[in-house]
Amino acid sequence: MNILILGAGGREHAFAWKISQSPLCKELFVAPGNSGTSTLATNLNISVTDFEGIKKHVLVYKINMVVVGPEDPLVEGIHDFFLNDIELNHVAVIGPQKAAAQLEGSKEFAKEFLLRHEIPTAAYKSFTKKSLEQGYLFLESLKAPYVLKADGLAAGKGVLILSDINEAKEELKSMLVDSKFGEASTKVVVEEFLDGIELSCFVLTDGKNYKILPTAKDYKRIGEGDKGLNTGGMGAISPVPFAGPVLLSKIENRIIKPTIDGLVKDNLPYKGFIFIGLIVVDNEPLVIEYNVRMGDPETEAVLPRIKTDLVEVFQAIDNESLDEIQIEIDPQTAVTVMLVSGGYPEAYEKGKQITGLEDIKESMVFHAGAKNVAGTILTSGGRVMTVTSYGDDLRSALKTSYKSIESIRFEAMNYRTDIGFDLQE
């Protein structure tokens, strides 16, 4: 079959790498893609939210399956767009419909879902401009630090954690009254701070059956020791060493099962990935957030550990027969380290030549903000590429990635040298 992946990051390069190995995949397309995906697939120059443009290409290239990488097209309803179009409704779309994508598109929707289905999460209340004063009172009833979340999509920047009550009140006002995050902060969720250790779990569902994929932990801060500004993710490891069978069974019974049952009860059609951000407090897992897609860079550490043909799994999702599939997981550890442009996540320069990629033999490189201009690979974004390695344990996988990185050069290249620092024995 012909398959189209939507997106342009390392996550989509990793999907292209995995899908291109499937004997079921005849022709592979990525829109818009990057210099990495172009080595495995045909890049199509269309935006992920240009639904009419996507339709045109799906018809021209006789595409049978669309795998949606990022959240925006899902939250804007790409799956519904395909279902409601007579020329497109035979195409399998991997990603939830708009109603279910609200689990990521609206923090308040997600919190209400969690509460309704008795899934453990932080206590919260949500506020609008009109209820600002109640928001102040609620903040006063909480202990520091204070967690403020813009309700809508804010490109991963909509969560603020503040230690000072007055600053928290100021920020709440600036979000609600001065539209700090635009439309996204018309509503703000104020939440109890949870002090624990984070991990992510990934689930595939066809709407009624589910499969649990390997756990991962990502490193979001720009600086060593988890200091400094938040980024899209500076590296990830899989599996998470502290996620043993007891914790995993709590996660499955208290979080994953009620989530899938909740989707059914609430009539929220879901065929795709659910990425559950978790925090473990005193050995008890709580949900921090839902994402309706895979994580980036978590995908670059999780997909390499899946041995099963992903296209076969996607077909089972489309046919609602996921219960008939076994997903085989590689027991090795996989780690991925992100190389970023100097200055990122603040202002940075683009268009720097990247060299040394051909010397990498022991790791896989997934391109993110990189493009091929007449045979030269140039940086085109903040997160440039990610270097994934396997190992028998975390230490050996990391050693391989860091050794491979020594070959790669571009001006002002930056990366964290301490991915997994908190988890090594």
Which residues contribute to the site for ligand GLY (CB under 6 A)? 218, 233, 291, 295-296, 298
CB of 70 to ligand GLY, least distance (A): 9
Token pair 């991925």: residue? 336
16 vs 58 by CB, closer to ligand GLY: 16
What part of residues 102-131 is at the interface with ligand AMP (CB under 6 A)? Answer: 122
CB of 296 to ligand GLY, least distance (A): 5
135 vs 369 by CB, closer to ligand GLY: 369
Give Cβ neighbours of residue 421 (< 8 Å, ≥ 6 apart): 224, 225
Give Cβ neighbours of residue 174 (< 8 Å, ≥ 6 apart): 180
Interface size with ligand AMP, residues (CB under 6 A) = 11
104 vs 171 by CB, closer to ligand GLY: 104
Specify which residues 68 forms β-bridges with: 6
Query: Between β-strands 65-68 and 92-94, what pairing exists: parallel, antiparallel or unpaired?
Result: parallel
* 159 makes contact with ligand AMP (CB under 6 A): yes
CB of 338 to ligand GLY, least distance (A): 10
CB of 24 to ligand AMP, least distance (A): 34
CB of 325 to ligand AMP, least distance (A): 29
How far is Cα 198 from Cα 218, in angstroms, rounded to an integer? 9
Among residues 191, 206, 300, 309, the one that binds ligand AMP under rule CB under 6 A? 191
Do residues 206 and 316 touch, judged by C-beta distance below 8 A? yes
List the one residue out of 142, 186, 149 whose CA is nearest residue 165. 142
191 binds, among ligand GLY, ligand AMP, none (CB under 5 to 8 A by kind): ligand AMP
70 binds, among ligand GLY, ligand AMP, none (CB under 5 to 8 A by kind): none
How far is Cα 223 from Cα 230, in angstroms, rounded to an integer? 9
CB of 237 to ligand AMP, least distance (A): 15
List the one residue out of 179, 172, 182 whose CA is nearest residue 133. 172
List the one residue out of 397, 69, 14, 415 whose CA is nearest residue 239. 397
218 binds, among ligand GLY, ligand AMP, none (CB under 5 to 8 A by kind): ligand GLY
Residue 383 DSSP SS3 = strand
Query: Between β-strands 221-223 and 124-127, what pairing exists: parallel, antiparallel or unpaired?
Result: unpaired
* 198 makes contact with ligand AMP (CB under 6 A): yes
Q: Could you count the other beta carbons within 10 Å of the beta carbon of residue 374?
A: 5
How far is Cα 298 from Cα 247, in angstroms, rounded to an integer? 20
98 binds, among ligand GLY, ligand AMP, none (CB under 5 to 8 A by kind): none
List the one residue out of 120, 186, 194, 121 whose CA is nearest residue 158. 186
9 vs 158 by CB, closer to ligand AMP: 158
Residue 126 DSSP SS3 = strand
Query: Between β-strands 159-162 and 146-150, what pairing exists: parallel, antiparallel or unpaired?
Result: antiparallel
Token pair 């140039």: residue? 378
CB of 379 to ligand AMP, least distance (A): 26
* 288 makes contact with ligand AMP (CB under 6 A): yes
Among residues 61, 109, 136, 193, the one that binds ligand AMP under rule CB under 6 A? 193
Listed in order, strand segments (DSSP E) in 153-300 are 159-162, 188-191, 197-205, 210-212, 217-218, 221-223, 227-230, 235-238, 272-281, 284-291
How far is Cα 283 from Cα 244, in angstroms, rounded to an integer? 11
- Name the one range near ligand AMP by CB under 6 A: 89-97, 193-201, 231-239, 332-340: 193-201
291 vs 315 by CB, closer to ligand GLY: 291
- Name the one range near ligand AMP by CB under 6 A: 39-47, 192-200, 326-334, 407-415: 192-200
286 vs 364 by CB, closer to ligand AMP: 286
Among residues 72, 80, 206, 289, the one that binds ligand AMP under rule CB under 6 A? 289
Residues within the interface to ligand AMP (CB under 6 A): 122, 147, 149, 159, 191, 193-194, 198, 277, 288-289
